[in-house]
Amino acid sequence: MAKKHGIQFEKLVDTVRPGIKECTIQDVVRRQAMGDSFVLVDVREESEFNSARIPGSRHLGKGVIERDIEEQIPDPATPLVLYCGGGYRSALAAHNLQLMGYTNVISMDGGFRGWKESGLEIDSTPQKSPS
């Protein structure tokens, strides 16, 4: 079941959506099938990522992505597709990365929840938290 978001949170996300690029889950599946090169970034909380994730994704949580992006992905032209649980946090993260000079950032609408509901492969191999 989708998390019910607060009205002000939804309004905030709605203000950034016109300024970012979004894609569908099927767009990501097509890009993967074509061998398109991009970094798939999971911006959910660490506990969410550790529980299950889209195969091949990297974790840079919404709470730290702005702090850690330059170290993890130093080239601001790197193609990035961000996802969260449903597409809200990833939209905010995409907006912030654009403000930081990242030029090829897309938020995947529908997020992990939509991916899973579509019956697509997920990786639920337990992940260890970094020491």
List the end-to-end C-alpha distance of the chain, in Å, as a whole number. Answer: 32
Summary mean pLDDT of the chain = 94
Distances (CA, A) of 88 to 33, 48, 70: 25, 15, 22
Q: What is the pLDDT of residues 55-101, one digit of tens each?
A: 999 999 999 999 999 999 999 999 999 999 999 999 999 999 999 99
**Residue spans per domain, the chain:** 22-117
What does pTM read for this prediction? 0.92
Q: What is the pLDDT of residues 114-131, one digit of tens each?
A: 999 999 999 999 876 553
Helix or strand or coil: residue 32? helix
Q: 25, 84, 93, 108: which is the annotated catalytic residue?
A: 84
Task: Look at residue 131 in the predicted model and tell me its pLDDT.
Answer: 39
Give percent of the chain with pLDDT exceeding 90. Answer: 91
Residues 33, 125: Cα–Cα separation, whole Å: 23
Is 84 among the catalytic positions?
yes
Helix (H) or strand (E) holding 92: helix 88-99
Judge residue 113's burial from the number of C-beta atoms within 10 Å of its C-beta, 0-12 exposed, 13-18 middle, 19 or more buried.
middle
Which residues partner with 12 through β-bridges?
none
Instruction: Note the CATH number of domain 22-117.
Output: 3.40.250.10
Helix or strand or coil: residue 33? helix
Residues 63, 57: Cα–Cα separation, whole Å: 17
Task: Look at residue 130 in the predicted model and tell me its pLDDT.
Answer: 52
